[in-house]
């Protein structure tokens, strides 16, 4: 399922629910079909995500081109939390500078 984040100040951001869920949970947001960030929440939320990324990850080792899983298929590369969080951090920071009417909302087809 896709989650669409809309900002009054930036473009639209699409994420799979599996990627959006842990980011919103770190921020204490419910993973409902619709939600919002107020102006007062945006800058602190961006800082919280930055801190979560620092705590969660060290740089992953470079992938081995010949790495295979138990069935012989090539393993998929691991996508780090920082790679998933950066677009939302950027949206939060840029939108927070948009003034009193700035907002971010998200929509999904169902709770996730």
- As a whole-number percent, the residues of the chain with pLDDT over 70 amount to 88
- Give 10-31 pLDDT, tens digit per residue: 989 999 999 999 999 999 999 9
| Exposed/middle/buried for residue 91 (C-beta within 10 Å: 0-12, 13-18, 19+) | buried
How much is the pLDDT for 58?
63
How much is the pLDDT for 78?
75
**Is residue 73 over pLDDT 60?**
yes
**Is residue 74 over pLDDT 80?**
no
Distance CA 81, CA 65 (A): 22
How much is the pLDDT for 71?
79
Give the lowest-confidence range in 48-57, 69-78, 86-95. Answer: 69-78
Please measure the distance between the N-terminal and C-terminal CA atoms of the chain and give it in whole angstroms. 8
Mean of the per-residue pLDDT values for the chain? 90
How much is the pLDDT for 100?
93
């Amino acid at each position: 399922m896709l989650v669409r984040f809309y900002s009054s100040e930036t473009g639209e951001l699409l994420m799979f629910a599996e990627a959006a869920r842990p980011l919103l949970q770190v921020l204490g947001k419910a993973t409902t079909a619709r939600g919002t960030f107020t102006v007062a929440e945006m800058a602190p939320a961006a800082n919280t995500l930055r801190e979560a990324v620092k705590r969660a990850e060290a740089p992953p080792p470079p992938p081995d081109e010949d790495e295979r899983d138990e069935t012989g298929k090539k393993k998929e590369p691991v996508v780090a939390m920082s790679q998933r969080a950066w677009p939302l951090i950027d949206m939060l920071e840029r939108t927070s500078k948009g003034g009193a009417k700035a907002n971010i909302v998200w929509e999904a087809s169902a709770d996730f």
